[in-house]
Amino acid sequence: MFMFLFLVVALAVVVAAVTLAVVGGGESGPLPEAAPERLADPLPLDRPVRRDDVDLLRFPVAVRGYRMADVDDALGRLGAEIAERDARIAGLEADLAGARATAVTSLTKPAEEDHR
């Protein structure tokens, strides 16, 4: 019985302390509303994105994870840069294939002329 009364009194003290802390708020009053965090270091606009830029990219945490707009912007930018690089690589590979074909053609023509 003594233990039960002790637990009831302890519970009442804890509830009272928490209620005073929440309702009273001390001298400062309730906490002010926090401004939402924004992406501080977006990807650079004046140059192509490098691996270091992606490694250093950190998204601010929102109520349910990350801010979708910040993540969408970063992924859109990275997707556009990757597509641009893929197109450039394809163009360079086509130029290289054409240069190799020209080199092979120029090497085989003198050999054919020697046999005539």
pLDDT at site 20: 77
- Is 8 domain-assigned? no
Could you tell me the pTM of the whole model?
0.49
- Is 113 domain-assigned? yes
The domain total for the chain is: 1
- Is 59 domain-assigned? yes
pLDDT at site 28: 62
Q: Which residues of the chain have pLDDT under 70?
A: 24-41, 109-116
Nearest one of 12, 82, 86 to 43, comparing CA atoms: 82
Tell me what the pLDDT averaged over the chain comes to: 81
How far, in Å, CA of 43 to CA of 4, rounded? 62
The DSSP call for residue 90 is: H
Are 34 and 17 in contact, with CB atoms under 8 Å apart?
no
Domain of residue 106, residue span: 42-116
pLDDT at site 6: 92
Q: What is the largest CA-CA distance in the chain?
A: 120
pLDDT at site 29: 61
Torsion angles phi and psi, residue 62, rounded to 5: -110, -170
